[in-house]
Amino acid sequence: MHASPAVLCLCAFLATLSLVAVAAAELADAAPSSSEEYDYPQEESLIASQFTADPYAERDHMEMIRTGELGLAGVRYTPESFKSTEENNDSYGGDVYGLFCDYDAARNRDDPSSFSTVDHILGASDHCSEHTYSFPLRDVMADIGRYDSATSTRLQMKMLPLGGMIFHEGHSGAGLISNSLAAFPSARVVSEHGALGDALGACDVLKNRYGEEECEEGRRLELVRDVIALLGRVPTAGEGQQLKNLYLRLSNDAAAYLPDLRSLYPSSKWIFVYRDAEHALAKATRRRRSPCSKMRRNPSSALTAKKEQYRIDLEALSHLEVCALHLSTLVDAAVREHDESGTGMLVSYDKNLVANGKANVFDVILPYLGLKEEIYADENGIKERVKEILTLKSNNNGRGGSLELWGGEVIEVSEEVGAATRLFMKESMDAMNQFESSA
């Protein structure tokens, strides 16, 4: 049974701020929503009373996007968004909306441990918590294209090239690397942006949740490319004068889409960070409702292919086994891409980060990602700054007061975790171990 083409996809921060989705219908430029079919004036009034006045209510919001005052916070789409139609032509549909608000994307530069992901940055923005503006994303891309090419404004904004991508298994030290990158004046680091994850997984979501088989891969990849372009679009003045490259740390499940991103950005560097399989699974499943257990109902195309290859019924597996199988697909994607293309760097948390991690980050990983000259120049004490970052936990969740990292970590591995690891991850990790000297 197909669901109605209601709003399907919001970035992760909006999931914790559900009032925004209801209040969005009050905005003059809001996207269509299924809630518009009903009339709840009293409820909308009560909700509206809980918000502060929008400081940009009288401003031209599209103009604020043009000038970089508003940043992309999320995307949403419908079952029709990626179908091949006359209206869509060669693009995704006009029903793909971008959500924009005012936030400081560079907040992770001064305190990367407290603002290690975009969610933490968005959560600290009063404007994003209460006010977002929705626009058809095709219209936004066409508008900024005209703005950036116009003689009078073409030097006001620039698109940063994608310097590197950080993929990871989860709880494996990828945040240490992205936080270290954030210390460099030339690097704009965007970590685990929900809009990018939503774009990458769009066709899988539509198939799993709505039974929609028609989802053109080219249109999905165009959305991915547009999201990354918006994340790397910065003013040329101020901080933008020093910015040279965009670096993306993706959510761990995005590693399943590594081949897609490599096809779009073949010259960009990439790394995959992993750890001991039992420890990875134990960390990923500490909570019963762990994110990876959701893969049972919403598997990636890589997980679907693997379960079909081995004739596995996900419904018959425990949540530990589902997570182990999911993690194996992330390792598989990285090993396959590394082996077949000869690109990328495979980084072991245990051997390359915990053991002599500072030296490996300075001497191998950061230079591979293009920061060699800045490390050697050591302007503004960048080496000491990075050394300090490497002693702190990488995900203090916006709370401040960062904690020490290198004091040791005891991970309890249950018999169930060990069994699931041996059953579903051993083959993948054996293949990974052949390339352990990569970093």
pLDDT in tens, 188-219: 999 999 999 999 999 999 999 999 999 999 99
pLDDT attached to residue 259: 97
Residue 227 CA to residue 231 CA, distance in Å, equals 6
Q: pLDDT, tens digit, for every residue of 241-255? A: 999 999 999 999 999
Q: How many residues does the chain have?
A: 439
Q: Is the pLDDT of residue 327 over 90?
A: yes
And the tokens for 145? 């294209």
pLDDT attached to residue 378: 84
User: In Å, how far are 138, 310, 341, 404 from 430, measured between CA atoms?
Assistant: 44, 18, 19, 32
| Mean of all residue pLDDT scores within the chain | 86
pLDDT attached to residue 14: 43
429: Cβ contacts below 8 Å, ≥ 6 apart: 277, 331
Confidence of residue 407 (pLDDT cuts 50, 70, 90): very low
Strand-pair partners of 271: 166, 345
Backbone dihedral angles phi then psi of residue 309, each to the nearest 5 degrees: -60, -40
Please, are residues 208 and 199 in contact by the beta-carbon 8 Å criterion?
Answer: no
Q: pLDDT, tens digit, for every residue of 7-44? A: 445 444 444 444 333 344 333 344 443 333 434 344 55
CB neighbour burial string for 208-227, b if at least 16 within 10 angstroms, e if fewer = bebebeebbeebbbbbbebb
Please, are residues 319 and 295 in contact by the beta-carbon 8 Å criterion?
Answer: no
Helices 415-424/319-341 angle, 10° precision: 40
166: Cβ contacts below 8 Å, ≥ 6 apart: 174, 177, 178, 247, 248, 249, 250, 270, 271, 273
Confidence of residue 49 (pLDDT cuts 50, 70, 90): low
Q: Residue 141: name the closest of 198, 91, 213 by CA.
A: 91
Q: Is the pLDDT of residue 340 over 90?
A: yes
And the tokens for 419? 């069994």
Residue 327 CA to residue 306 CA, distance in Å, equals 12
Backbone dihedral angles phi then psi of residue 52, each to the nearest 5 degrees: -80, 165
Please, are residues 346 and 353 in contact by the beta-carbon 8 Å criterion?
Answer: no
Backbone dihedral angles phi then psi of residue 222, each to the nearest 5 degrees: -65, -40
And the tokens for 153? 């404004």
pLDDT attached to residue 410: 83
CA triple 331-339-163, angle to 5 deg = 80
Q: pLDDT, tens digit, for every residue of 96-119? A: 999 999 999 999 998 898 899 999
Q: Residue 14: name the closest of 31, 38, 28, 36 by CA.
A: 31
Please, are residues 170 and 131 in contact by the beta-carbon 8 Å criterion?
Answer: no
